[in-house]
Structure 1
Amino acid sequence: MENNNYFAEMMKSPMPREQVKNATAAYIDNLLNDILFKQEKQKLMKAIDQSLDEGNRQLFIELSAKLNELEKKFKH
């Protein structure tokens, strides 16, 4: 029974709520970063495909470099 009182007291303290808020904020931040990464990668891949279709080597090289930078930035 003493354990139940300890748990109830712990739930009343602000610390667990702050930890939940921090964990939620970190999860949302990671989720948004992942969405941004995927959107930007998709945009670059489409542009790279188009540059290949057009035979534009210089644009292909530039876009490939941007894709590499993006992957380094987001560590994928």
Structure 2
Amino acid sequence: MENNNYFAEMMKSPMPRELEKTAVSEFISSFLNDILYKKEKAQLMEKIDQSLDNRDRSTFLTLSDELKRLEKKYQAS
């Protein structure tokens, strides 16, 4: 019986719902960032592979630097 009253009181309070929305928003944001990171990394890796196939050193170095920046960017967030 006491559990039902506690639940009813908790449902009246907006705080648990706001915390839930925040947690869900954080999860979605993290999930989307992970997808974006993987997509950008895959594109860069493909370009790096092409530059290696073409023996294009300057493009390889440029793309490698971009990859390093990308990894730092997503490790920081």
CA distance in 2 between counterparts of 1:22 and 1:58 reads: 45
Give distance in 2, aligned partners of 1:26 and 1:67: 25
Which amino acid is the alignment partner of residue 48 of structure 2? I
Distance 1:25 1:75 in 2: 19
Q: Match of 2:14?
A: 14
1:42 — aligned with what?
A: 42
State the one-letter code of the partner of 2:15.
M
Aligned pair count reads 76
Unaligned runs of 5+ in 1: none
User: Any stretches of 5+ residues in structure 2 without a counterpart?
Assistant: none
Alpha-carbon displacement from aligned partner over 1:42-76 (angstroms, at most 9, x marks no partner): 00000000000000000000000000000000018
Alignment RMSD, CA only?
A: 1.3
Amino acid of the structure 1 residue aligned with 2:42 = Q
Q: Which amino acid aligns with 2:9?
A: E
Identity %: 61
Output the CA distance in 2 between the equivalents of 1:12 and 1:24.
Answer: 20
